Chains A and B, each alone.
Chain A
Amino acid sequence: MKLRDVLFPAVAVLAAFLVGALFVAAIGDSPIETYRLLIGSAFSWPDGVGYTLFLATPLIFTGLAVAVAFRAGLLNIGAEGQLYMSAFAAAWCGITFARLPAVLLVPACMACAIGAGAMWAAIPGLLKARFGSHEVINTIMMNFIAVALCGYFTQYHYRTPGDPIMETAAVGANASLPRVGDFIPGVPSRIPLNFAFVLAMVACGLVYVLLWRTKWGYELRATGANPFAAQYGGISTGRQIVIAMAISGGLAGGVGINEVLGYRHRYYDGFSDNYGFTGIAVALLGRNHPVGVFFAAILFAVLSRGGIAVDAFTVHVTRDIVQILQATIILFVAAEAVFRGPFRKLGLLK
């Protein structure tokens, strides 16, 4: 990572907080007090930290998903649909093979989640490689199909009769990942932070190694950087497109693991708080690098968690301030050129 890769996002976040402070002050609260609430509550122990990291988990997965696709020159707008498919597949596996022992059932559910996400993403990849149809259109459309398919199977095949909520029956008791309370004494078991967060960190490491230390990653990045040169170097760009989409979808599948095995233990219709779309913002802020994605996901989770406290404990400001902050961060990241001139003058950039 180069200096600029840290500098631009950091300045964008700072600038966004400054703009946010203006809004807070205009509404009539103290910016300092509001930000103290926001940050403080997100890092309180154990609830703040537990929930913040729990909320960061899906964003790490989707951020990585978008970043890997982006490195191959693809815009995966379909992480949302991929994570729905993966959550449903995990729940299906957990329900269908409920009697299996945990050593078999947990890996099986994970494989289903990752496989479903990968497959769902590989379809637009294939369409692009074979027919040149644009992945943005196809991934967006497949989001709707995924949500509708999962809803249909929940409603007509996997819902417990009499259950008023749109959700499947519970998965087998063995289809469960340990929660933070199981490891650290004194942390209540209601805090849903679970082993999937560790998986998310491992995924960051794996993505880094894959992209920058293996020949596969080289071919994937070469395809994204310049497909004509990649072909010239003997790389099958069509194959790379399909592979990159599948990896991207598999990463989005991590959300299904967190949701089903770590949190609700069932498929719950409409569970995603737009994780797939927020993942685009996370990848953008994290400069499509796993380390950046990790910290960007934490930041977005802090905003999301801290917003609750801001809502409850300030007089005027509502949690919508979080939306303003998120939006201004993205604006400033996108408007990188605004900072380039001043940075050069300060000698921070060449």
Chain B
Amino acid sequence: MIELREISKRFGAVTANDRVSIRVDSGTIHALVGENGAGKSTAMRIAYGFYTADSGEILVDGRPRRIASPADAIALGIGMVHQHFMLVETMTVAENIVLGAEPGSAFAFDSAAASARIRALSDEFRLAVDPDAFVEELSVGQQQRVELLKALYRDARLLILDEPTAVLTPQEVDELFASLRGMRAQGKTIVIITHKLGEVLALSDDVTVMRDGKVVGRMKTRDTSAAALARRMVGREVLLRVEKTPAAPGDVALEVRGLSVSGRHNALAVNDVSFVVRAGEIVGIAGVEGNGQTELIEALAGLVPADRISGVVALRGTNITSLDARTRRELGVAHVPEDRQKRGLLLDFGLDENAILGVHYRPPITAHVGHVLLDGREIERRAADIIARFDVRPPDPHVPARSLSGGNQQKLVIGREFELHPTLLLVSQPTRGVDIGAIEFIHRKLVALRDAGCAVLLISAELEEVMSLADRLLVIHGGRIAGEVNPTKTTAEEIGLLMTRGAA
């Protein structure tokens, strides 16, 4: 169907793609795997006309083609579903899908025709979406189906999906895979970009593995295994399981009693939640994103205004419910936020100035003249420390945080918070968008922190992550704790049910 031959692409000094050749056969599902920054998205964006290659050629149906823009790609029957959806939330599904290709005359938009065509498509490919619903009312999984329909509406024969499962629940993943298999049966070709090996094995026919901008492996999915793929991706042996000893829980570090947090529109985002986290244990909270996790962790960190909170939060027996973020930090609360770019980092500041956020106002960072002036050498030392211990690259304290890859940004945030030697660590999505090698590293650090006696509250949308890291696992649904399960005895299916339907 499509073939990339010897494609190279450079961004400044970085070679994103180095003579990359990928062949995708018609009517197959092809997985393109690799760590972040391996160049898989770049290669597919070249195929979709977002970027133009510096050299190399693209063949569609065996003929060399010039794809200079997404419009060229669409004309050739190539569609792409991005990781971050490109939808207008205030418009209907139908309006979103036809945007830019509206049926009707130049002056009149034939919305009935649009709806009818979309209904036919969604029936054909079993993507149950109501064309007249507003996008903002849809779940994430439904929005993704709208994106798929957008491509199908434009007669795409090849669908490229960039990390399609990152935002889905286990059940939604199953539904998506069923749809994709259905499309394959109808003759569509699918490329899925991912770094989740389980998905590769479950779904794809062929795999192409990339590392450092190069293709390092091509194989039939049935001829490979998760361990073999991981070794190819990272270039060394990787532990796919977290190694840890049973927890030795101590005293109660965090106690949450009847906590409710009102979110936007005054609806309760967190509804009467109670639990404890003891020193030396990792308590995981699993749940579909948007079920109150964000509000819960922000309330615990002191980032939600007091008038939106009711209930009690206590740290080692001290009521901290009405304390601000700074005072909570002083009492030993550290926080790795779910959105490192929005919450955790000053992207335009250097790594050095990011390394002191939260402790910037007190000794040893301040010195001289009544502790008003910042001690430049101390800041540098602290930054160098974090960079060295958490392997942040590039190891230059003066580059802006913006220029770091997502994984390195995350290591910087994690390093900064871990170096506080907290009593309680609030950590949300610690490995989102982080590659396998770094995930292993972050997981080890988390377990080490636990073993040093820190109480850890871990929120993650990665089911595998919470299941393997947590010593106790709570499931959140609709702002309530839907149940507690033993992570060593439960199954993904049991948690998945709690995540979607709440307590039985």
Contact = CB atoms under 8 A, between A and B. Distances in A.
B360 A228 contact: no
Contacts of A222: 346, 349, 357, 360
B337 interface: yes
Contacts of B346: 222, 225-226, 229-230
Given A213-B374, A225-B346, A218 B303 contact: no
A214 interface: yes
Given A218-B353, A218-B374, A225-B349, A231 B325 contact: yes
Given A225-B349, A226-B347, A232-B343, A350 B301 contact: no
Interface string B35-49: 000000000000000
A225 B348 contact: yes
A345 interface: no
A233 interface: yes
A216 interface: yes
A229 B357 contact: yes
Interface string A156-183: 0000000000000000000000000000
B75 to A, nearest CB: 29
Nearest to A215: B361
Nearest to A210: B372
Contacts of B376: 213
Contacts of A236: 324
A269 interface: no
B345 A229 contact: yes
A214 B371 CA distance: 9
A219 interface: yes
B344 A350 contact: no
Interface string B357-368: 110110001100
A215 B374 contact: yes
A305 to B, nearest CB: 36
Nearest to A222: B346
B143 to A, nearest CB: 24
Contacts of A185: none
A231 B303 contact: yes
Given A219-B360, A228-B342, A229-B346, A234 B374 contact: no
A308 B116 CA distance: 72
Contacts of B353: 218
Interface in B356-415: 356-358, 360-361, 365-366, 371-374, 376
Interface size, A (range): 20 to 34
A216 B372 contact: yes
B372 A232 contact: no
B472 interface: no
Contacts of A216: 372
B37 to A, nearest CB: 18
A225 B347 contact: yes
A236 B372 CA distance: 17
B309 to A, nearest CB: 15
A219 B366 CA distance: 13
Nearest to A212: B374
A347 to B, nearest CB: 11
A232 B358 CA distance: 8
A226 B374 contact: no
A250 to B, nearest CB: 18
A214 B375 CA distance: 9
Contacts of B326: 234-235
B62 interface: no
Interface size, B (range): 20 to 34
B13 A232 contact: no
Contacts of A230: 346
A233 B373 contact: no
A229 B12 contact: no
A228 B357 CA distance: 12
Interface string B10-45: 001100000000000000000000000000000000
B360 A233 contact: yes
A232 B325 contact: yes
Contacts of A215: 360-361, 365-366, 371-374
Contacts of B327: 234
Contacts of B214: none
Contact of A232 (B303, B348, B360, B374): B303
Interface in A201-245: 213-216, 218-219, 221-222, 225-226, 228-236
A231 B325 CA distance: 8
B415 to A, nearest CB: 15
B294 to A, nearest CB: 12
Nearest to B353: A218
B329 A234 contact: yes
A231 B342 CA distance: 11
Contacts of B335: 232
B357 A233 contact: yes
Contacts of A228: 342-343
Residue in B346, B347, B358, B372 whose Cβ sees the most chain A Cβ within 10 Å: B346
Residue in A216, A221, A225 whose Cβ sees the most chain B Cβ within 10 Å: A225
A235 B357 CA distance: 9
Contacts of B373: 213-215
Contacts of A234: 324-327, 329, 358, 361
Contacts of B348: 225
A132 B117 CA distance: 45
A222 B347 CA distance: 10
B361 A232 contact: no
A181 B335 CA distance: 60
B347 to A, nearest CB: 7
Interface in B76-132: none
Contacts of A231: 303, 325
Contact of A229 (B301, B329, B342): B342
Contacts of A221: 349
Contacts of A235: 326
5 contacts: A215-B365, A218-B356, A222-B357, A235-B326, A350-B13
Interface of B: 12-13, 301, 303, 324-327, 329, 335, 337, 342-349, 353, 356-358, 360-361, 365-366, 371-374, 376
Given A231-B325, A232-B344, A234-B324, 13 more contacts: A213-B374, A215-B360, A218-B360, A218-B361, A222-B346, A225-B346, A232-B325, A232-B335, A232-B337, A232-B343, A233-B360, A234-B325, A234-B361
List the 10 closest A-B pairs by CB distance, nearest first: A234-B326, A233-B357, A233-B358, A225-B346, A234-B325, A215-B361, A232-B343, A214-B372, A218-B360, A226-B346
